[in-house]
Structure 1
Amino acid sequence: MPKLRKDPRAFKADEAKARAAAYQTELRRAAQEQAAKKAAEREARRPGCTGRGAKFTDTRWQAVEPKDWGATKDSHPHLCDTCKRAAVAAAQERQEPVRGEAGADDFRPAPERPVCTGCGAAFTEERWKATKRVGWTASPAKHPSLCGDCDQRFEDLNRAWGA
């Protein structure tokens, strides 16, 4: 019996199917490699607890991530849930307010007179008036956070160094 030859068009179709299957296999392999790479990068970014060194769980990581400007902040963003509970319990034993929670002194009105960032002394009446903002403009004083003495010392140092 004579051997039948395969039609060249069928042969080309089989080759095209094989190439398409190989291409799809290569695409799946590349997608798996990329997914593994992304997962490894995400794990490398995952924060760890400063207390025990353990990596944060996904829920803890999500809880300490900044959300928006008005969101309340986590009281211990550098600790895992277990260490945070221990820190909160220790703070409650000492009866100290946890950061982010209101304490007994948080409702005291803020002092009206500013203090110098250099020496901590309260501003004099003249200095306070000289550093007050006027409307939308900035304070007319060169160093509005310093008292008169510290401001003078700063200016003397600038002159001495030729700044």
Structure 2
Amino acid sequence: MLYRQIAGLCCLFICCSVLAWSDKDQDGVPDKKDACPNTPSGAVVLANGCQRVSQQGDDQSSKAELNHSVFFEFGKHAVLASEYTAIERAYMMMEQVGFSTVTVVGYTDNVGNELFNVKLSIERAESVKAILVKQYAIKPDVIEVIGKGSDAPLSSNRTALDRKKNRRVEIKFK
């Protein structure tokens, strides 16, 4: 009887340990240690889960451009409360690696006309910029805002889930 109880506890411990390893974006970094929890599928990431986008030159003194995404509801430019953690993680990474410029690029899905989508993408980028300025005291003059509309989708826009992935703002810094 005691043996069964011990075996049951061991199984419970092992099962709980397996469940503790959650990696929603499937980048190989557990969610609880992932500084960038929404990296695109197939992206090469650093040890902290953030994507390495490009390298400026070959010398070691240059800094990589890093990219963080904030996602939005359909047709809205207000930052969701659930996305504040993505902005905070981006800021923490900026503080860790240092930065001289920040580029905030807004995107939309392909629903609606492109004039509306470009305007909405700029409003989304401005919303994220406002948070970086107000909450993290980043000087506004080092933040560039760009609106790309439905240009450069992460996903195909064929399904609601694909379109949801495309409604985003990317925070890039060097």
Point out the structure with max Rg over C-alpha: 1
The structure whose residues are more often strand, as a share, is: 2
The structure whose residues are more often helix, as a share, is: 1
The bucket for the TM-score relative to the shorter chain is under 0.3
TM-score normalized with structure 2 length = 0.26
